[in-house]
A and B are shown apart, each in its own frame.
Chain A
Amino acid sequence: MSQASVRQGGAGQARARQGGAGGPVRTVLAPILLGVAVVLLWQGAVTLLAIKPFILPGPLTIAGQFGANLQNVANGMFTTGRNALIGLLIGTVLGVLLAILAALMRLLDEMAAPIVAAIAVVPIVALAPVLYTMYGAGAETARQFVAALAVFVPVYFNTLKGLRQVRPVHRDLMRSYAATNWQATRTVTLPTALPFVFTGLRIASSLAVISALIAEYFGGPVGGLGKSITSSASSSNYGLAWAYVLGSILLGLLFYSAALIVEKLVTRRSGG
């Protein structure tokens, strides 16, 4: 980002914080208007063309089902969200730790790179049935495992990249201070890497929800959003199925926004 030339003597006028271009009206109101228009159009089409609910239920039907089954949807969100969160935490801790080790040891990095690349291309949901047989169909473990695995990959790669972003001038500076390895890591390497870790976390946050949800399709206990979607759909209760889909969207947004807010807070001062 460009630096504003603050004139010497000009009292503390801070750089204009990156302005809300277009103002709040445009950034907030415009998407809302579009959303409302789409919903109206959708409802209109469903009503006027008399579209059958098994093809496409109208927003009113879905909203009605959502309201009527609020407790069930909330429970589903809680179950799936818990799995996603546990997976997110485990995957992040593992990803960050392994990336730090890989950054410290070149050999480990070279050994780990193909393995992590292999993990990245494993269709993780394909693992779910195998994991259910390993951990038992009554446990949530398999779902958390799948979420953790999905989270691990972007967190690992982003952290590793971040740990390699130390600018040469900072490295020279630390050497000129005769700083110990740990001092250099603590004062320069980790703060430099932090924004990258949180970018990885933001990407991983949606992946965690999606993976935990999809893993439910392959077995395991009922109660989560994924199971509820399939069971409502198979009992021809399409409005309810869509209400659960709406719940999943909300859950995904919740995870993503939380990660985004944390990322913004952390990267505020990390420069360009």
Chain B
Amino acid sequence: MSAPEPTPLPGRRAASLAVDVRGVSRVFAGRKGASVTALDSVSLTVAPGEFVSLIGPSGCGKSTLLRLIADLDTPTTGEIRVFGKPARQARIDQDYGIAFQQAGLLPWRTVSGNIELPLELHGADRAARRTRAAELIELVGLSEFAGHYPDQLSGGMQQRVAIARSLAESPSLLLMDEPFGALDEMTRERMQNELVRICAETSAAVVFVTHSIPEAVFLSNRVVVLEPRPGRIRDVLRVGLGETGERGETLREDEEFFHAVSQVRELLHGEAPAGARGAEAR
């Protein structure tokens, strides 16, 4: 199925990673021959079941990196493997589910029609689609709204539908590009709690783009801090706030939580705090 692959890694190691980004750069051609380096030799791995957030100021290439992993864009140099396959093959094999900042629902389809969309495109039969959509609607707590149209839902509810849709084919990898970016703070925290719960139930690996420090800390096993112009990884912070399933509302009041938040903040602002350096050797 796949073309002969250049394998810089021993196959087994590559296959044991959910995402393996090696020396990836993405240069956009600008006007008058000027070019913008969105990403400059970025390397990153994500283990199966791991929750990794990408955080950084605008223009640091975090969304670009996510789009590259999703094969919605192609790296200028470097290589990306998803479950040991080239990103393109992983997309064709539907190895990941994706959610964007905009819910991106089809307005002429009901909630359950929207969730069924990927299943329908990939040839699942009607009964299987119905059952799966019902399960997912239950999972995101929208049972009463299965027959509603997107314009009858609030922004937070639309986003939950989008997340349910991204989970439709039980992917082992979820790619999320600021999915809660457009939501108000209260809805946002509730959605984060739900996401933590959903991740625990599905044990999918997640790559999560955000510009909110508390969000990144609350959700992640690791927070990857990027810097802009050119987009590079500044540092990676391992957050030891317990297993995904154990995170709850109380965590937000936790001493460790605040500590991790301030560590990420310091990293973002450029000075390397003594404690954070070496949290991840790279």
Contact = CB atoms under 8 A, between A and B. Distances in A.
A183 B121 contact: yes
A121 interface: no
Interface stretch (A1-9, A22-30, A256-264): A1-9
Contacts of A183: 121
B98 A173 contact: yes
Given A269-B107, A270-B107, A5 B154 contact: yes
A7 B149 CA distance: 15
A11 B102 contact: no
B153 interface: yes
A173 B154 contact: no
A130 interface: no
B45 interface: no
Interface in A138-172: 167, 169-170, 172
Contacts of A167: 102, 104
B157 interface: yes
Nearest to B147: A12
B121 A172 contact: no
Contacts of B150: 271
Contacts of B154: 3-8
B69 to A, nearest CB: 11
Nearest to B90: A178
Interface string B8-40: 000000000000000000000000000000000
Given A173-B98, A177-B94, A14 B141 contact: no
A187 B148 contact: no
Contact of B72 (A4, A12, A170, A175): A175
Nearest to A269: B108
B106 interface: yes
B257 interface: no
A90 to B, nearest CB: 28
A36 interface: no
Contact of B153 (A6, A169, A175): A6
Contacts of B106: 170, 187-188, 191
A14 B91 contact: no
Interface in A158-207: 167, 169-170, 172-173, 175-179, 183, 187-188, 191
A9 to B, nearest CB: 8
Given A187-B106, A187-B117, A176 B98 contact: yes
A187 B145 CA distance: 22
B contact residues, range: 20 to 34
A191 B150 CA distance: 15
A189 to B, nearest CB: 11
B121 A12 contact: no
B258 to A, nearest CB: 29
A19 to B, nearest CB: 15
A6 B94 contact: no
Given A176-B72, A270-B108, A15 B151 contact: yes
A12 B144 CA distance: 6
Given A177-B121, A271-B107, A3 B91 contact: no
Given A175-B72, A177-B122, A8 B108 contact: no
Given A176-B70, A177-B94, A187-B117, A6 B104 contact: no
Given A11-B144, A187-B106, A271-B107, A169 B100 contact: yes
B113 to A, nearest CB: 10
A169 B121 contact: no
Contact of A1 (B121, B122, B151): B151
B90 to A, nearest CB: 10
A121 B221 CA distance: 64
Given A172-B98, A270-B108, 13 more contacts: A3-B151, A6-B157, A8-B157, A172-B70, A172-B72, A172-B100, A172-B104, A173-B100, A177-B121, A177-B122, A178-B94, A187-B106, A271-B108
12 contacts: A4-B154, A5-B154, A6-B152, A6-B153, A8-B156, A8-B157, A11-B144, A170-B106, A176-B98, A178-B92, A270-B107, A271-B150
Interface of A: 1, 3-8, 11-12, 14-15, 167, 169-170, 172-173, 175-179, 183, 187-188, 191, 269-272
Interface of B: 67, 70-72, 91-92, 94, 96, 98, 100, 102, 104, 106-108, 117-118, 120-122, 141, 144-145, 148-157
Q: Which 4 A-B pairs have the closest CB atoms?
A: A271-B107, A169-B104, A5-B154, A269-B108
